[in-house]
Chain A
Amino acid sequence: MLLNAVIIILREVLEAALIISVFLALSQLLNRNLWWMLLALVLGFGGAYIYAVNLSTISMAMEGTGQEVLNAVLHSVIFLALLIFMITVPHQRHQQWRLINLVTIVLAVITAIIREGSEIILYIKGFIGIPDLLSPVLMGSAVGAGIGLSVGVFFYYLLVNMRKSHGIWLGYLILLLIGGSMVAQAVEFMIQANYISATTPIWDSSHLISERSATGQLLYALIGYEATPAPQQAAAYFASIGLLIMAAGISFIFRGKAS
């Protein structure tokens, strides 16, 4: 039970911790205020709680596919926020762009916490009536959260202590991969809800790196690793990364001309 709890919580915490730490580090490297993080955390946890409490209503919606659809929407919102963030970063000199940039960061962090936080609340809530299982679940959750947050702290300090330009580029790279992972997961939810037809996986690398192993979890959070991805997932993953690179590149080229 402990190991299951560790894996489930680690998966959720690691993903949220990476998004938050990369945004925190990039905000610091781009000389932004950090007050927004507190606001985003409070709103995010509030949203996660509301989501978890209303899960049954959400699940029943859209002929029983409400939860999958909402999760797909949340992942898509994170991707869109990343896309707008990357477009607005090169135009930091303009007040309006800076504001949009800040709003997208707050939006991405709130959405990530709602998505991952609600999963954690739901998972732990499921064991509250079972005293025998609650203590291993709580302990596993503490261990998973501890490992996930520690990795987040390391990433944050790695980025802020690198040479500024290197830190920004590495932060960008991680955001690209997170963006790809978000879209791939959104597609996965749509497959689960039968909005996209399921096909056989294009590869199976579970014998190399299992999704349930610690390495698998880290890779999942970092690059959206899937041992058995559907072709649509893989296509969405690479297409979204391509879109992010293209948008960021065009925005960078036109950085002096926008007003």
Chain B
Amino acid sequence: MDRRKFLRAVALTGAAFTTMKEADAMSVLTQSFQTNRAATNYDLVAVMGGEPEVMFRKAITEMGGMQKFISKGDKVCVKPNIGWDQPPEMAATTNPKLVAEIIKQCFDAGASEVTVFDHPCDEWRKTYSNSGIEEAAKKAGAKVVPAHQESYYKTVSIPQGKRLKTAKIHQAIVDSDKWINVPVLKNHGGAQLTISMKNYMGIVWDRGFFHANDLQQCIADVCTYEKRPVLNVVDAYRLMKTSGPKGKSPSDVVLSKGLFMSQDIVAVDTAAANFFNQAREMPIERVTHIAKAQELGLGTMNLESLNIRRLKI
């Protein structure tokens, strides 16, 4: 089976080289090819008990290495959660060490450029700096780009969306070759949980539309945007169990030391939600956008059907 797929890919690549010269078409082809190959390993990797960067290294190795997802010369966008003006200890934002490690590995895999951004809810300058992500990402060589003005966003159509038909998505995502979704696992007053899918709300300009037009459906809808992340990496090194998504005191935070990684956004959110359920009761039925996304064919909530690698450090 493996060999057959490989041969077919080689043949396709050859055909592509001879018939197509457009770089865009090429990158689309290689992307889908890699997606197929990655799926032959593990569908989902879950790691526990290490530092953020250590857990990521383990997980990506189990997934088959970063070069499986990022090709030479790729313009990559890494999208963490930088939504709130809180220090990393509050787990309101993605762990900066994890973000830095991902950027580093993207460059190691040959990425020509890595950009990092989020559309924060709090004042963006404070949020970028107090989250520690701006500094860590710049140190790792990434470009940290602003997202506080509508002009940074491009209108795209969401044909599969039920409520959300078009959205303004940040140009860093629209213009990238690949993007990696790096949410943090948190409680959320409106959506109940915020994980990979809810992290999409930071790539759009008009969040108010989501809230005003069935938040949970819009979250699922936006995930049908044609350019999917090549990886979803859920940071659960610390998780915010209550008062999310911003949090008010350290009592909201649990040092849980987890990390989940998958290309299947529904599966990785299901796994993370189950993990969260141990810190505070949160039945997955309450996080209705996950089921709505499954309905849209974005992935599966049935973890038993998947090839999962569980790893404790």
Q: Do A and B bind each other?
A: no
